[in-house]
A and B are shown apart, each in its own frame.
Chain A
Amino acid sequence: MKLNDEQLRLAYVSSSRRAPADRVACPAPDALLAVAERRGNESVRLETLDHAMACDRCRRELELIRTSAVAAGLPKPRTWFRSPSIGLTALAASLLAIAGVRLYMTNGDAESGPRLRGGAGIVTHANTPASGGVRVAWRPATGAMSYRLEVLQAGRAVLDTTMRDTSFVVSDSLVSGSPEMLWTVSAILDDGTIVSSLPSPLRSPSR
Chain B
Amino acid sequence: MTRYSGVLRTVGARYRLPSADLDELTQEVRVRLWGALSTDERIGTVTPSYLYRAATTAAIDIVRRRRAARGDPIDEVDDAEVSARRAPSTPDRDASLQELSDRIDEALQSITASRRPVVRMYLAGYGTAEIGELMGWTEPKARNLVYRGLADLRQRLKAMGIDGGDGR
Contact = CB atoms under 8 A, between A and B. Distances in A.
A binds B: yes
Interface string A59-72: 11101111111111
B44 interface: no
Interface string A83-114: 00000000000000000000000000000000
Contacts of B10: 71
A143 to B, nearest CB: 14
Interface stretch (A32-40, A131-139, A173-181): A32-40
Contact of B59 (A10, A12, A59, A65): A65
B56 A163 contact: no
Interface in A4-38: 4-5, 7-17, 19, 23, 26, 29-30, 32-33, 35-38
Given A42-B135, A64-B21, A188-B144, A75 B52 contact: yes
Contacts of B159: none
Contacts of A75: 49, 52
Interface residues on A, range: 35 or more
A26 B62 CA distance: 16
Interface string B40-56: 00000000110110111
B11 A70 contact: yes
A63 B124 contact: no
B150 A5 contact: yes
B147 to A, nearest CB: 6
A35 B135 CA distance: 8
A38 B97 contact: no
A66 B67 CA distance: 18
B165 A13 contact: no
A161 B69 CA distance: 44
A153 to B, nearest CB: 15
Contacts of A45: 135
Contacts of B100: 11
A43 B113 CA distance: 9
B160 interface: no
A64 B17 contact: yes
A8 B168 contact: no
A9 B101 CA distance: 9
Given A29-B63, A65-B56, A68-B58, A2 B11 contact: no
Contact of A11 (B51, B54, B97, B121): B97
B127 to A, nearest CB: 8
Contacts of A186: 143
Given A71-B8, A72-B55, 15 more contacts: A2-B165, A9-B123, A46-B114, A46-B135, A47-B117, A49-B135, A57-B72, A61-B63, A61-B66, A63-B16, A67-B21, A71-B4, A71-B11, A146-B167, A163-B168
Interface of A: 1-5, 7-17, 19, 23, 26, 29-30, 32-33, 35-38, 42-43, 45-47, 49-50, 52-54, 56-57, 59-61, 63-75, 77, 146, 148, 157, 161-164, 186, 188, 192-194
Q: Which 7 A-B pairs have the closest CB atoms?
A: A53-B120, A2-B165, A72-B55, A68-B59, A15-B101, A12-B123, A50-B117
